[in-house]
Amino acid sequence: MTKKEKVKKPFYKKWWVWVLTVIIVGSIASGGEEDSDQDTSTEKEKTSEVVASTNDSSEKAEKEEAEKKAAEEKAATEEAEKKKAKEEEEKKAKEEAEKEEAEEKAVEAAAEKKADAAGVEGANALSAARGYIDYTSFSHEGLADQLSFEGYSQDAINYAMEIMDTEVDWNEQAELTAQSYLDYTSFSQSGLVDQLVFDGFTNEQAQHGADFVFQ
């Protein structure tokens, strides 16, 4: 071998080989760290999404449960109010029925007491008064006068007429009397009112009867 010939160094002793090696190793390490950071970030995002989804589901369930409870409480309150109103209505109706029954019994008792006081004559006067009304029309005063004409005592007449007041519509009697006059003869409206007053009807009853037949 001559002096001019250079001895070749092994490749691993060349400086650029080590520089290249350092660069490659650094790149690999850097890439691994980036991948690791990306994986960690992805896992954190997934965990956050799961937690958020769980929280949303929990809040939704709590909201639905609260709404359900509120609806049940509202329904229970309305039902209680309806029940209370029904009970109060039934109680009021019962009290009114009892009151009416008591009033009816009181009226019946008073009537029986008066009937006992009036005796047979009072009962006969009442029977006669009913017979007259069934036959023709009368005013209250006219019917009382008729009973007096028949000879009944004032107590018997008072008893009979008090009961007749509960059975007879004197306005209707004025209508019937007014119509019977017009069927018999001619009257002006004011003249018919005067005639009805003469027969014992009140001014209001007489006016009602005349208005009825002249309408």
On whether residue 125 sits in a domain, the answer given is: no
On whether residue 87 sits in a domain, the answer given is: no
Counted domains in the chain: 1
pLDDT, greater one: 21 or 129: 129
On whether residue 135 sits in a domain, the answer given is: no
On whether residue 192 sits in a domain, the answer given is: yes
Range of the domain at 209: 170-215
pTM across the whole model:
0.50
- Cα–Cα distance, 17 to 24 (Å, whole number): 11
For 99-128, what is each residue's pLDDT tens digit?
999 988 887 777 677 767 678 999 999 999
Question: Euclidean distance between the first and final Cα of the chain, in Å?
Answer: 162
CA distances to 97, 106, 107, 112 from 100, in Å: 5, 10, 10, 18
On whether residue 194 sits in a domain, the answer given is: yes
pLDDT over threshold 60, residue 147: yes
On whether residue 191 sits in a domain, the answer given is: yes
pLDDT over threshold 60, residue 34: no
On whether residue 160 sits in a domain, the answer given is: no
